[in-house]
Amino acid sequence: MVESFELGRRERQIVEAVYRVGEASVAQVRRVLADPASYSAVRATRNLLTSKNLLIRRYEGKRYLYRPLTPKTTIRRSALRELVRNFFSDRSVEVVAALLDGGAVRLKPEDLECIKKRIENAEARA
């Protein structure tokens, strides 16, 4: 069972920024964000992410540094599960169809080959 993390848009942006940087202060996170929130909003959101066990903090000098606590794959799976539930009526086949029809993204031939191999692996496990 995939753990569920219900994250708002800003929470997702901030946790993704911390994953990109590795360990970051509030100021560093704000520099990474395309549309940064105020210093206090980023700090409050990072504290919320800490309470959700997504980030961990340590004190250095006069500031806290935050780093990921939860593996990125766990958060990705949770986000994908929420996406499938909310936008595709819990039907993963609809997600795959949306990717394959070219409407969402343009798949490269190597992407299609990788998808084929994953389908074959899934069929072998079923």
| Domain coordinates in residue numbering, the chain | 1-87, 89-126
d(CA 91, CA 96): 9
Crossing angle between the packed helical segments 72-87 and 9-21, to the nearest 10 degrees: 150
Q: Which fold has domain 1-87?
A: Arc Repressor Mutant, subunit A (1.10.10)
pLDDT tens, residue by residue, 56-87: 999 999 899 999 998 888 888 888 888 899 89
Determine what percent of the chain is predicted with pLDDT higher than 70. Answer: 96
- Tell me the pTM: 0.70
d(CA 23, CA 18): 6
pLDDT tens, residue by residue, 94-111: 888 888 887 778 888 999
pLDDT at 3: 62
